[in-house]
A and B are shown apart, each in its own frame.
Chain A
Amino acid sequence: MELPVLNEKPAASGCSAGSCGSTDDQLNHLSDEIRAKVENHPCYSEDAHHYFARMHVAVAPACNIQCHYCNRKYDCANESRPGVVSELLTPDQAVKKTKAVAANIPQMTVLGIAGPGDPLANPERTFETFRRLSDEAPDIKLCVSTNGLALPQSVEELSKHNIDHVTITINCVDPEIGAKIYPWIFWNNRRIKGVKGAKILIEQQQKGLEMLVAKGILVKVNSVMIPGVNDKHLAEVSKIVKAKGAFLHNVMPLIAEAEHGTFYGVMGQRGPTPLELQALQDDCSGDMNMMRHCRQCRADAVGLLGEDRGDEFTMDKIEEMEIDYQAAMEKRKVIHEAIAEEMHSKRSAKADAHAQFAQEEKLQTRPVLMAVATSGQGLINVHFGHAKEFLIYEASPDGVRFISHRKTDQYCGGDSTCGEAESALQRTIRSLEGCETVLCSKIGYEPWDMLEQAGIIPNGEHAMEPIEQAVIAVYKEMAAAGKLEPSNELERASA
């Protein structure tokens, strides 16, 4: 099957789909066939991630390469980043856990295997899990994420198991750059270091990508943005993987802290700022669909993106649950249909609001970034102090587009953590750099004052309203109040 050529237009100039004034929805550029496949996949559809949940099962501990952003001494309950897990599962435990989560969180539609090592370096455990789940829980979508080294030899097996989505992490196509990211690979019974190892890895990734596309399996490409290492190179990576048929590119920021014990963390390599990341994503979006809502979750995450309910499903708790999966499947079907209906009605309401906005006299104002506190359903429904993350939207005369999410330190965590409340609040406010307003359901006096001092206007007037409509309303208010000087950006974008 041949995948279609994707979005050719830069995102800044607006959405290319005729039905929509929105510039945020990456799915608009896809064929109907692909759209139907990813519509309820939280990791692929920005829309869906407000409603549907995913889970990872940590069955794959072994890895065949070393990345400089990874520390293989993974085992931490308090960290949320790829490669970290608390409890390694056997395939049998993974199947039990998946069914237990599916029965208790019916909006869970996707099961992924993402580590903590490389799933394809653990073929027996990974494929045993997939084999059993495609048999016993056929209503769950299966996906897998890999570094690509063992991909070519796994494509045949992958195509057998109901797996229609594969994510490959591709950080470079140049072995010289690769040598600065991957110190070694294990290949043909030898550890191969430096440029030579990186070259083999890159060849296998590209070959695997081509083979998957030829099989009609959807491929998403993840890239880690490492300032000074591959940041200038990723636009080229984006072009190449798009030309080969990847349907979505997800550029993620490097996570590097000294306490993680990774090469980059210890050597003081910094991650990109939110604005640097956004600029690169915008650069790449001229060439392909960009994904901007990735939460870089743990290899054992459970729940909606941005939340982790893994604690509710530890193996000792699961062993005590009695799961009737047939009954659960029937219940899930009803709930999925109801969610799909809600999603579609919200989507058309959103499109209507955008269409109306597009018909109004076009503003000549500059774009504005706004932060939103939400826990799902596409609504502004979280108290400022309870927000674990903010979603960032850009409002402009072209409409609203989703930009990214930013994690916070929750400053209002109850009695025990309030000792450090002030510094956590300050950190949260710093994480909102570049935003001019923050929309939430409620906000206390103290953060209100501090936000104002930081030049960010708190806004609790749109509680429980749909995000996009509220963002447009606030943008129009700001324009009417004369706060938005005309933009030069617009001329550039339409030139």
Chain B
Amino acid sequence: MALKIIETCVNCYACEPLCPSKAIYEAKPHFKINPRKCTECEDDFPDAQCASICPIEGAIVDSLGAPLNPPGSLTGIPPERMAEVMAELQAH
């Protein structure tokens, strides 16, 4: 049982000092979680700390690959709206 940081991470450092298991480390091209140390904060906090401060939707996933912060959950932008606007921008 461990969380994972994926490539959409922007390297903002916010999660690293919060991890109670010191499982998060700076790496290239982005921060990583040592799966042997990660406990998903089970015994320490009600919510996984890294996923509670991470500003990037989808950047932290569980062992099944499901994002802890799915699209729209942090920015409040409905995913359909985001897709529509991005398509519009690319058309120009």
Contacts and interface: CB of A to CB of B under 8 A. Distances in A.
A pairs with B: yes
Interface of A: 61-64, 66, 68, 72-75, 88, 117, 121-122, 183-184, 186, 189-191, 258-259, 262-263, 266-267
Given A62-B13, A63-B12, A72-B10, A263 B55 contact: no
The 7 A-B pairs with the shortest beta carbon distances in the complex, nearest first, are A62-B14, A72-B55, A61-B12, A191-B52, A186-B53, A183-B76, A62-B13
Interface string B59-88: 000000000000000111100011001001
Quick one: which of B52, B55, B82 has the most chain A CB within 10 A? B55
Given A61-B12, A66-B74, A191-B47, A267 B81 contact: yes
Contacts of A117: 12, 14
A177 to B, nearest CB: 15
A183 B74 contact: yes
A66 B55 CA distance: 7
Interface residues of B, number: 23
B77 A263 contact: yes
B12 A72 contact: yes
B85 A258 contact: yes
Nearest to B55: A72
A195 to B, nearest CB: 14
B39 to A, nearest CB: 15
A470 to B, nearest CB: 41
B55 A63 contact: yes
B14 A63 contact: yes
B46 interface: yes
Given A72-B10, A72-B12, A189 B45 contact: yes
B42 to A, nearest CB: 14
B81 A266 contact: yes
A186 B52 contact: yes
A122 B13 contact: yes
B46 A190 contact: yes
A266 B85 CA distance: 7
Given A63-B12, A258-B88, A263 B75 contact: yes
A190 B24 CA distance: 18
A59 to B, nearest CB: 10
B89 interface: yes
Nearest to A268: B85
B76 A64 contact: no
Contacts of A190: 46-47, 52
Nearest to B53: A186
